[in-house]
């Protein structure tokens, strides 16, 4: 199995130095580009831009809506009743967010495992078994969340507003990990971003479940939060090991 080395990493960096022309100083047209920028006169100024943006903010449209459950069972009524003082459907919204994120997390680790199989790991990096364990736990979280959404009378296939926002915010992470040009070690940097978000969102969902008085959901979110704490600690350790060893 292929294994990255400091020498190979150095060769990549040297090749990058020879072909990277993103900086203006490497362009023979640098002076002309500067002159063109100085000569450009924008159509309108900062005040015009602020006025236009203000007009959009004064009439905002919601990102999305939550389908109202057609019927509420006992567990749903208890949860919704406890949250009436805030937003009656906030629990379903946040459950939908976690559900979508765990589905994406499962796919991210599937891609990471495939890269691990092709490239191997590095000193202090994860084993295939460790990655598979995280993948399996993410998938188990997803299936359990589906059941809780259904118990509350919700539709687990619906994209809630928070799920939509989370999906847009995490698009960069998905693009990085899915890019075949990005190495296994580089992909871990993007995975760390996802794990940091996942960690805090599970804490919030646990607090919401406790407030709603849903003991089963609270116990599940506590277990999931403990597992996500371990995921985050592992990924932090792997990223640090790769950085310190110059992989």
pLDDT at 10 over 60: no
The CB density around residue 96, as the number of other CB atoms within 10 Å, is 28
Q: Which one is predicted more confidently, 7 or 92? A: 92
Q: What is the mean pLDDT of residues 10-20?
A: 54
User: How many percent of the chain have pLDDT more than 90?
Assistant: 58
User: Residues 100, 163: contact at Cβ < 8 Å?
Assistant: yes
164 touches 182 (CB < 8 A): no
Q: Taking the CB of residue 193, how many other CB atoms lie within 10 A of it?
A: 15
**Token pair in block for residue 156:** 């687990």
Q: Mean of the pLDDT values across residues 22-31?
A: 85
Q: Residue range 83-102: average pLDDT? A: 79
pLDDT at 70 over 70: no
CA distance 212 to 76: 10
69 pLDDT more than 70: no
In this prediction, residue 8 carries a pLDDT of: 47
Query: Which residue in this structure is represented by tokens 């057609």?
Result: 70
Using CA atoms of 47, 50, 51, 56 in order, give the dihedral in degrees to the nearest 10: 170
pLDDT digits (tens, 9 = 90+) for 188-229: 999 999 999 999 999 999 999 998 888 999 999 999 999 999
User: Mean pLDDT over all residues of the chain?
Assistant: 85
Q: What is the pLDDT of residue 5?
A: 47
DSSP readout, 182-199?
A: S-HHHHHHHHHHHHHHHH
User: Where is pLDDT greater, at 10 or 233?
Assistant: 233
Question: Greatest CA separation found in the chain?
Answer: 72
Q: What is the DSSP letter of 26?
A: G
Tell me the whole-structure pTM to 2 decimals: 0.79
- Token pair, residue 100, equals 């979508």
Please give the domain boundaries of the chain with CATH numbers for all domains. Answer: 24-244 (1.20.1260.10)
**The pLDDT value given to residue 212:** 85
At residue 2, the 3 state secondary structure works out as: coil
Confidence of residue 246 (pLDDT cuts 50, 70, 90): confident
In the chain, beta strands by DSSP E: none
The answer on pLDDT for 84 being more than 60 is no
pLDDT band at 124 (very low <50, low <70, confident <90, very high): very high
Q: How many whole angstroms separate alpha carbon 208 and alpha carbon 79?
A: 10
User: Residue 231 above 90 pLDDT?
Assistant: yes
**How deeply is 182 buried, as exposed, middle or buried, from its count of CB atoms within 10 A (0-12, 13-18, 19+)?**
middle
CB 70 within 8 A of CB 153: yes
pLDDT for the residue 76: 53
The yes-or-no verdict on residue 79 having pLDDT over 70 is no
Residue 22 has pLDDT above 70, yes or no: yes
């Amino acid at each position: 199995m292929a294994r990255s080395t400091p020498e190979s990493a150095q060769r990549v960096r040297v090749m990058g130095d020879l072909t990277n022309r993103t900086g203006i100083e490497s362009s023979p047209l640098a002076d002309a580009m500067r002159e063109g920028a100085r000569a450009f006169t924008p159509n309108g100024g900062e005040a015009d831009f602020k006025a236009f943006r203000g007009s959009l903010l004064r009439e905002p449209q919601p990102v999305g809506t939550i389908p109202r459950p057609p019927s509420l069972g006992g567990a749903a009524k208890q949860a919704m009743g406890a949250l009436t003082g805030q937003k009656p459907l906030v629990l379903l919204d946040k459950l939908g967010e976690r559900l979508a994120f765990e589905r994406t997390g499962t796919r991210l680790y599937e891609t990471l495992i495939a890269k691990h199989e092709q490239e191997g790991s590095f000193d202090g990096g994860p084993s295939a078994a460790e990655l598979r364990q995280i993948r399996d736990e993410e998938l188990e979280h997803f299936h359990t969340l589906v059941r809780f959404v259904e118990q509350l009378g919700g539709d687990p296939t619906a994209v809630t507003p928070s799920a939509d926002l989370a999906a847009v915010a995490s698009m960069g992470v998905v693009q990085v990990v899915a890019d075949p040009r990005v190495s296994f070690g580089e992909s871990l940097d993007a995975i760390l971003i996802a794990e940091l978000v996942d960690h805090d969102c599970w804490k919030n969902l646990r607090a919401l479940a406790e407030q709603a008085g849903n003991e089963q959901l609270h116990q599940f979110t506590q277990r999931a939060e403990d597992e996500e704490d371990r995921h985050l600690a592992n990924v932090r350790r792997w990223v640090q090991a790769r950085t310190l060893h110059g992989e």
